[in-house]
């Protein structure tokens, strides 16, 4: 089953009245009874959540949604993708309209402690930057004194821009938009001097511009943007399930288990870490309320973390072209921050 639902900011008012019935330890039970996962992403964004010509969602964040569905049902297609505006996203999750949010949302202290949500482990480490026209002659964000900068409202990007301007006495004028398409169109028509968002999104935007070679990303990174899934507070079993779904994808890459070799690894591997993860021995599944083959289903149907990074962010067809080597998104064994606790 593949459902697609488009929500607007109006949803925020509708879901405020909806009971958070799926919370308080019952999310998995509710999802199983419904027969599919409701996973929230944003409006289409290259690399992370986008639509193909047939209306199917794909991307790094969508892969997390698929992985959770595969872990629960043994079928990655048993999910409904909800495309929710930035303004409504956290309300829709907190009030039970969504089971899970995975949509390049930055994990911050206030979001983690004041919205009734739990942010889990990041599936992408990013940072905010600036896109400008090459013809502007700008080579540094510190040259943006008095500039107008297009930014999406209701995001950490808007707040980070204000901090950067104040800290460096730049007097930047933020030009805010709810719709990123309008934001980019305004920039392209000369309505602002720069666009400021996460650098991965800047790369995706430039690819979509009519003349990508006319634009460049300035070298400064002005913020930390750990992006990852979030769930409602009050349901530790559900939080564990989603968290360990991401960890299973990371751990599989570390152990060399891929979608192509997982059947052979399950049948023939002598590595006890591989055998435990794939459910050949041990009982790691019990605490999650899943079947023994939950991690096998994830890797077989969705792939490990590295496979998905290359497919959607790295060098895959239509990917963003952001190379992983030397970045925080490398495995910890290669100097990055992608790290899974032991699965034992």
Q: Which residue has the tokens 């009245």?
A: 17
Whether residue 6 has pLDDT greater than 90:
no
Domain at 2-124+227-334, CATH from 3.30.365.10, 3.40.190.10, 3.40.50.11540, 3.40.718.10: 3.40.190.10
> What residues does each domain of the chain span?
2-124+227-334, 128-223
**Of 16-25, 68-77, 197-206, 323-332, which range is least confident?**
16-25
Q: How many other CB atoms are found less than 10 A from the CB of residue 33?
A: 9
Contact between residue 34 and residue 28 where contact means Cβ atoms under 8 Å apart: no
pLDDT, tens only, 142-162: 999 999 999 999 889 999 999
What mean pLDDT comes out for the span 92-101? 97
DSSP 8-state assignment for residue 313: T
What does the pLDDT read at residue 178?
87
- Domains 2-124+227-334 and 128-223 agree in fold: yes
Whether residue 94 has pLDDT greater than 50:
yes
pLDDT, tens only, 280-338: 999 999 999 999 999 999 999 999 999 999 999 999 988 999 999 999 999 999 999 99
HSE-up of residue 318 (Cα within 13 Å, Cβ side): 14
* Contacts for 33 with CB less than 8 Å, ≥ 6 apart: none
**Measured distance CA(303)–CA(299) in Å, rounded:** 4
Q: How far is CA 159 from CA 2, 140, 147, 174, 193, in A?
A: 36, 20, 16, 10, 18
What CATH class has 128-223?
Answer: alpha beta
What mean pLDDT comes out for the span 174-184? 91
How high is the mean pLDDT of the chain?
92
pLDDT interval class at 4 (50, 70, 90)? very low
**pTM of this prediction?**
0.88
**Of 10-14, 91-95, 237-241, 271-275, which range is least confident?**
10-14
The rounded percent of the chain whose pLDDT value lies above 90 is: 85
Q: How many other CB atoms are found less than 10 A from the CB of residue 201?
A: 24
Whether residue 7 has pLDDT greater than 60:
no
Whether residue 163 has pLDDT greater than 50:
yes
Q: How far is CA 320 from CA 62, 68, 211, 302, 310, in A?
A: 15, 24, 16, 19, 9
């Amino acid at each position: 089953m593949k459902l697609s639902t488009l929500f607007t900011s109006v949803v925020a008012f509708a879901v405020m009245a909806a009971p958070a019935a799926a919370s308080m330890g019952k999310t998995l039970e509710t999802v199983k009874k419904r027969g599919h996962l409701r996973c929230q992403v944003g409006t289409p964004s290259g690399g992370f959540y986008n639509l193909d010509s047939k209306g199917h969602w794909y991307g790094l964040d969508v892969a997390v949604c698929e992985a959770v569905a595969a872990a629960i049902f043994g079928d990655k297609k048993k999910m409904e993708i909800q495309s929710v505006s930035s303004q409504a996203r956290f309300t829709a999750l907190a009030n039970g309209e969504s089971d899970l949010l995975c949509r390049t949302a930055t994990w911050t202290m206030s979001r983690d402690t004041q919205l009734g949500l739990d942010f889990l482990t990041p599936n992408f480490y990013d940072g905010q930057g600036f896109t400008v026209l090459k013809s502007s002659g700008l080579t540094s964000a510190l040259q943006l004194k008095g500039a107008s900068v297009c930014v999406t409202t209701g995001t950490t990007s808007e707040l980070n821009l204000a901090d950067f301007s104040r800290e460096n006495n730049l007097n930047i004028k933020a030009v805010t938009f709810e719709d990123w398409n309008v934001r980019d169109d305004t920039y392209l028509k000369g309505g602002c001097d720069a666009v400021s968002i996460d650098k991965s999104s800047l790369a995706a935007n430039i690819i979509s511009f009519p003349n990508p070679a006319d634009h460049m990303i300035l070298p400064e990174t002005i913020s930390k943007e750990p992006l990852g899934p979030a769930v409602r507070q009050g349901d530790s079993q559900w939080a564990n399930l989603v968290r360990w779904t991401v960890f299973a994808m990371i751990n599989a890459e570390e152990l060399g288990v891929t979608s192509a070799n997982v059947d052979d690894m399950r049948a023939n591997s002598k590595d006890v870490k591989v055998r435990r993860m794939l459910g050949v021995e041990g009982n790691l599944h019990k605490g999650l309320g899943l079947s023994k083959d939950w991690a096998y289903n994830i890797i077989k149907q969705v792939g490990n973390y590295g496979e998905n990074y290359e497919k959607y962010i790295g060098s895959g067809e239509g990917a963003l072209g952001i190379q992983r080597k030397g970045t925080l998104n490398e495995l910890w064994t290669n100097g990055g921050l992608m790290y899974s606790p032991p699965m034992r």
